[in-house]
Amino acid sequence: MRRVWITDRPYPADAATIAAATAAGATEIVHGVPASLAALGVDTLGLHEIPEPEPQPQSLDPAGALATLLVVAGVLDITDAANAVGRKPEDLVAEAQAWSAGAGRNKRG
């Protein structure tokens, strides 16, 4: 979770802005939000908690992807396949999960 202090004061932050952000527990300061933009939302200025997006699974190299495919197809044992390509079994499981997640996004209704 990012804890961001949003201020309409320009960069660099003055001592009062830094003190307010620190007291609120902010770890970042966003400077210079125009007052006209700040007025568009309720409580635009001040502390905001922004959730970090979940990292997307990264695909393995071609050899790792092939090893995963062979495990999914039942041709190889996961430990043997992982050892053959210098990976951990967890890497092959993560690859299969990434495929599953991708397949769910690509379905047409």
Give pTM, 2 decimals.
0.47
State the pLDDT confidence band at 53, using cuts at 50, 70 and 90: confident
How many other C-beta atoms can be found within 10 angstroms of the C-beta atom of residue 35?
9
Q: Would you state the pLDDT for residue 41?
A: 64
Q: In the chain, what are the domain boundaries?
A: 2-50, 62-106
* Residues in Cβ contact with 64 at an 8 Å cutoff, skipping those fewer than 6 apart: 85, 87, 91, 92, 95
